[in-house]
Amino acid sequence: MKRLARRDVTGEHLKVGDMVRVIGVPDLKGMSAECRAESLPVFRYLVGKYKLIAEFDEFGMAWLWFKIRKGPHAGFHSVGIEPYLLRRRRVQAITVLQP
């Protein structure tokens, strides 16, 4: 497998500790039906949510560690996701007005 670039959907460089928004579900067709049935709802849960990048693996996948608090998939999870399915959160600068 070719190593993925550590860049989000907009081309921004990603690093461990970045807050990212999950913008899509990866293609899971290479998984067995059983694994896909377990993983797909977790990835769907993530879409639109912000999570911290915990690490990158040797293939360039960003790993997110998180907890689902309620429902049938409640519990701790870790998923590897392609960086192009993420958008780095931008911090807005605050202007302080002096009197």
Question: What percent of the chain lies above the pLDDT cut of 70?
Answer: 93
For residues 70-95, average pLDDT: 89
Residue 65's DSSP bridge partners are 78
Q: What is the pLDDT of residue 90?
A: 81
Give residue-wise pLDDT tens across range 1-12. 789 999 999 999
- Whether residue 46 contacts residue 30, with contact meaning beta carbons closer than 8 Å, is answered with no
DSSP 59-81: T-PEEEEEEE-SSTT-EEEEEEE
Residue 44 to residue 47: CA distance in whole angstroms: 5
Sorted by where each begins, the domain ranges of the chain are: 19-88
Q: Rounded to two decimals, what is the model's pTM?
A: 0.84
Give residue-wise pLDDT tens across range 40-67. 999 999 999 999 999 999 999 999 999 9
